[in-house]
Structure 1
Amino acid sequence: MNKKYHLFEVYGIELEYMLINKATFKVAPKVDTLLTKKNGSLTSDIDNGLIAWSNELVGHVVELKTNGPTPQLNHLSEAFHKNIIEINSLLDTEGLQLLPTASHPLMNPLTDTQLWKHSYSEVYELYNRIFDCKGHGWSNVQSTHINLPFFDDKEFEKLHAAIRVILPLIPGLCASSPILEGQNTGFKDTRLEYYKTNQKEIPEMTGLVIPERAFTKLDYYTTIFEPIKKAIKPKDINGILDHHFLNSRGAIARFDRNAIEIRLVDIQECPQSDLAICILIIETLKLLVNKQLAPLSMQKQWTKEDLFAIFNPIIKEGEHYKVSNIDYLQLFKLEEACTVNDIWKHFYQLTKASIDASHYHAIETILNQGTLATRILQAIAHDYSDTNIKTVYSQLAQCLQTNTVFSV
């Protein structure tokens, strides 16, 4: 039985990275080679002290995660960075390296995708049969996941209510996927644009991305899990898929480990930025959970449809989108229409005293210079030649290697 924790007592952070070939810049489905080099024989999970490594659905993506729940977030940027340096040095002999950001800017998913072929592959094969996992939304996505614990229904209610109302704003803080196949997609967060319709074959799995108003375990099972189980049954005749994994909303309740996992965060250029974003989100959630902004009843009344109406344009415009729904803004003690960037600046002012000073630079770069998507587009400066895109993304790979915030 997993130990149960109270709100904000521990955290789990997961970061996904793609492997690329240094010479060609193409994605390299060689995570099995990496894990074999590290372990001596092929394994899908590696325990490396504070951080664990594992494979993902596709052969070119590796996940680094906190090795179990951790009470401390401030040291994690360094811990992740240490593992990145180690991975890059293992990859170097193969002519490969890690690349950050939520999507590869030049990948052709139809020709470049290889699914993970080893352990757990029967699950991936079934996913592939149902959804055809060769599109950008499956094979060209890297994200950061934030896992937050709850002890019981009472804590779940507060945490789920707070997370639901903040989800729409997340792309305006961390969008990092503006370019696909060498083109500006017109979306700051193209990963999330794909996320919305990725599982259209079984719409019950993603819903409207923003979860339904379910505030107890029983409620959640009835509203979310049961429809998913029913919808998947004809496709999963052997019953190998778990409803916890099938739920693909932007935040998912994991009752198997008493946690909610936030999945809308695009991965950044380096762990310093990733952890700064996670901490700002967590500190903002604390304000909501502790009723320092809107009361719980007010947070709970927001429907998924109303929240989605705010979320959807932010996927496209990112931090520049102007939120004009005053009722929504009043959740955060804001009284007039303002941009998503202004809202995050407001949250930062309210939480800054609770945030370790080591995170200020990364947060302030985002709030003053824009999301990573905005900074990437500025650096590209309308030159979408492969050569220029590779130049800019090589700088991002260097930011990852040195754990440096990307500034334009």
Structure 2
Amino acid sequence: MSKAYSRFLTALFCLFLGGLLVWHVLLPDRDRSEVENRTLTQLPEFSWESLKDGSYTAAVEEYFADQFPLRDEWTGLKARTEQLLGKTLFNGVFLCGDTLISQVPAPENGQMEKNLSYIQRLPEKVSVPVYLGIIPSAAEVWKDKLPAGAQSWDQTQLLEAAEQTGLPTIDFHTPLTLHAQEPIFYRTDHHWTTLGAFYGANALLESLGMEPLNQEDYTPQVVSESFNGTLYSTSGIHWLTPDTIEYWVPEDGLTVTSWRTGEAAPGMLYDRSYLEHKDQYSSFLGGNQPLCVIENENLPDGDRILLVRDSYSDALAPFLAQRFSQVHLVDLRYYRMPLAQYVADNDIDAVCVVYSAQNFLTDRDLVMLTQ
């Protein structure tokens, strides 16, 4: 290679970097990435103290990474290039044909055992039955779809540990496995679909000795064919066909109350405004909130159930509202009052701790059950 050619390449590369810098400066900063469904880093405020301790330079680096021109397009191009090179794991997400499946890492620091022990102590504080249900993820139910040699933690270890707590358990694993050939999980998201939630609802009802729901009683309503979920965002794999979202349960006769700010306010079984944004799964009950209650006016004398839950129950709760007069949902990430007091004050008949396996392994808030 001649010196002239080397200088040309160097100049071209510098021009490219300089152009990107100018482009970055001219473009307005984005507050949020709809593709990644998260808030983006803004330009940090300078101070000599932050410069000395290194936090300023780290924040600037994160800022440039988040505000990089065409960031979403570059991320997708990177994933596509890696796929062509034979890669199957992208930021903790397996590419399995036309489906994305989240890798489940091994639990660390005894968190699984801690969380099980917290739940075991709950019956000492309440005077109603306490049930434990762990929802296996797609990495367990659809493990035959994983690439050859894929490393994902065996979730049956958690399911077996749950059975050894002595608490009555809800067997989600069996019905989901029996229906594994059906679309029970989204292809671009970690949640179960409405169909998967239906099978989960019947598993819960049967564990409580109640009549299961009849699938023929429901007419699925397709409300979106453009859902790209969390796995789409984190993997950078943006070329799969979007998922479809369905609503099954009619809203007639159901009243939803939400406590997003600590005060009761009217809620919705399905908040269709989310269908206009990236986080379409949050259209179920309106997404994350400390407390939500669904009341069925057609069952005024029915039982009341409390779900200590994660986001999987957003799609599950509408089905349960067909068999209970009230379905109470508590999210321990935001709800900080003693659960035992809530059970007593609201005449709850049964408590079900329902978590997806992957969330259960990392959750740090179940300790709130010991209050």
- TM-score in terms of structure 2 length: 0.28
Between Structure 1 and Structure 2, the one with more helix by share is 1
Between Structure 1 and Structure 2, the one with more strand by share is 2
- TM-score in terms of structure 1 length: 0.26
Larger Rg: 2
